[in-house]
């Protein structure tokens, strides 16, 4: 998927070419907005974001080491392992053993399809809420209770 030049230009104006040349990570806003809803604490969220930084192709699962993840966020490998186990128990990630010929077992691969699935489940609700907020603004105020909706609160 090619990124439009206007998007690149706007992003460079915000961050600078020098910063973007070091790479960037796409984090869906719904992940940040739904953090509490999906039961992810701040340390688990930062680990998810770190995994996203390693994940560039849908077909290539990221495989950073626990040590590398820990170094990036200031956690020990054991704590990283516990948080990853929690994320796996929540169904947001799946750890998969990775074997390299001649080296044997190496860093795990991380399947993030559970996270994608969970966010896809929440997306319609977030869209409805966003549209409801727009309708309230168009009406000139906080008329939540007058709007017809399955969930009239914002």
Give me the percent of the chain exceeding a pLDDT of 70.
90
The structural domain count of the chain equals 1
**How does pLDDT run across 54-71, given as a tens digit for each residue?**
999 989 999 999 999 999
Q: Token digits for 146?
A: 């007058």
Per-residue confidence (pLDDT) for residue 6, from 0 to 100? 84
Query: Domain containing 132 — which CATH number?
Result: 1.10.10.10
pTM: 0.81
Dihedral sign from CA coordinates of 106, 107, 108, 113: negative
111 in a domain, yes or no? yes
52 in a domain, yes or no? yes
Range of the domain at 111: 5-146
- Residue 101 φ/ψ region, left for φ over 0, alpha for ψ in the -120 to 50 degree band, beta for the rest: beta
19 in a domain, yes or no? yes
154 in a domain, yes or no? no
- Phi and psi for 43 in degrees, rounded to 5? -70, -40
């Amino acid at each position: 998927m090619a990124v439009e030049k206007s998007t690149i230009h706007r992003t460079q104006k915000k961050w600078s070419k020098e910063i973007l040349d070091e790479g960037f990570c796409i984090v869906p806003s719904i992940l940040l907005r739904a953090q509490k809803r999906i039961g992810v604490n701040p340390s688990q969220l930062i680990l998810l974001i770190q995994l996203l930084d390693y994940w560039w192709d849908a077909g290539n699962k990221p495989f950073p080491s626990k040590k590398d993840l820990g170094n990036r966020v200031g956690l020990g490998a054991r704590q990283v392992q516990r948080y990853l186990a929690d994320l796996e128990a929540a169904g947001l990630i799946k750890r998969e053993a990775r074997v390299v010929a001649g080296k044997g077992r190496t860093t795990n691969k991380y399947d993030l399809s559970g996270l994608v699935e969970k966010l896809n489940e929440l997306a319609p609700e977030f869209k409805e809420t966003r549209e409801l907020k727009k309708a309230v603004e168009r009406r000139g105020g906080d008329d939540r209770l007058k709007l017809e909706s399955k969930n009239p609160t914002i």
